[in-house]
A = this chain, B = another copy of it.
Amino acid sequence: MMIYLDNAATSYPKPETVINGMVQCMKDYCANPGRGGHALSVASGKAVMEARETISSFFGIKNPLQLSFTKNATEAINVGIKGILKPGDHVISTSMEHNSVVRPLKTLEKESGIEVTFIRCSEFGELDIEDLKKNIKKNTKMIVSTLSSNVNGIIMPVGDIGKVAREKGILFLLDASQGAGTIKIDVEEIGADLLAFPGHKALLGPQGTGGLYVKEGIKINTLIQGGTGSHSENLFQPDFMPDMLESGTVNTPGIIGLSLGIKFIENMGLDILKSNKFALVKRLWEGANEVKQIKLYSKNDIHKNSGIVALNFEGVDSSEVSYVLDKVYGIATRAGLHCAPMAHETIGTRASGLVRFSIGCFNTMEEIDHTIRALEEIGANLK
């Protein structure tokens, strides 16, 4: 029996309804959505549109046509950043970002004359909103922030960021890769002008899915052009959402799966899932905290943790611990830098990495207790 605690990478398992819905889609009606008038193509198109509505509603997006489907959050973030920033623009981000934000920004800084400021966060990854305010300049066009760190689960003050952005007339791109499916997101309330999310993490959809919401009225360029099934006679890309950002055939079964993942969350209740998840985080955190060699990098606070317990055994390489957890105890975690070197720099684990335990909605208290016993044994063996 394996204990899967790598849900921040990809959630596992998926609800049965997700897989069954994908199978039904592929078996019963999966022709090309929006590319023909026959019964199957219409059925596919209708299913994709319904999924667009379900997912939009989940995020408080009023016009579902402003939501485009992408292959993953990374694509969505890249399109959101590069479709908007122009030479001379300044962009502010945080030191807790994933490489999906850092790498495009560093590339723009190097190649396209765009200024980038990463606000240094605290040793727990907390962002000081005053620091952010101080760094706003006349040419600040956009703020990009993660909803929650994929390294230690710290939750960013995204409502405050949205407020500042709105006051200053700056665009706010929210990367909800960690947190969507756990923390309630309402783009209007938060004040997010752009929202990027993956389907395969806490939203419980399959890999190969994600999305980018772009607030109505924001002008965005495309990175990719191609067939959209609309305005076929035009040799240039159409300029309306979502078609302009959805070139080529979309992942219909994947989108259906993502929509069913979100329906599962809605049926269970987002708040209940969140408090259940935090109960497991709390137990694991407190159990780990009893092991004297362990140093914890996550907060034991539901308002500051989206579902991760990040730790190290002092003086032991994180990869070794993760290896032992897998091989000896059947516990799946992720060690190393988690594609977020700047975040590790921030919390002081750039050299060692850390062991990340990321909780999913199918984990149980028994699994957590088993994990705590494993940590205790590893600690005992280190004595």
Q: State the A residues within 8 Å of B (CB).
A: 2, 4, 6, 9-10, 12-14, 19, 22-23, 26-27, 30-32, 35-41, 70-75, 77-78, 98-100, 102-104, 106-107, 110, 198, 200, 206-210, 223-229, 232-237, 247-254, 319, 322-323, 325-326, 330-342, 350
A375 CB to closest chain B CB (Å) equals 16
With beta carbons under 8 angstroms apart, the residue of B71, B72, B232, B339 that contacts A99 is B232
Q: Hey, which chain B residues are within 8 Å of A36, CB to CB?
A: 6, 9, 322, 332-335
Q: How many copies does the complex hold?
A: 2
Give the one of A74, A227, A342 with max B CB within 10 A.
A227
Q: Hey, which chain B residues are within 8 Å of A333, CB to CB?
A: 36, 38
A-B contact pairs, 14 of them (CB 8 A): A14-B26, A19-B23, A19-B27, A70-B71, A71-B75, A71-B251, A77-B226, A78-B224, A78-B247, A98-B227, A99-B225, A99-B235, A226-B339, A254-B254
A175 CB to closest chain B CB (Å) equals 11
Please state if A107 and B237 are interface contacts (CB–CB under 8 Å): yes
User: How many angstroms between the C-alpha atoms of A342 and B251 in the bound complex?
Assistant: 26
Please state if A229 and B339 are interface contacts (CB–CB under 8 Å): yes
User: How many angstroms between the C-alpha atoms of A72 and B235 in the bound complex?
Assistant: 20
Please state if A252 and B207 are interface contacts (CB–CB under 8 Å): yes
Q: Which residue of B lies closest to A73 (CB)?
A: B248
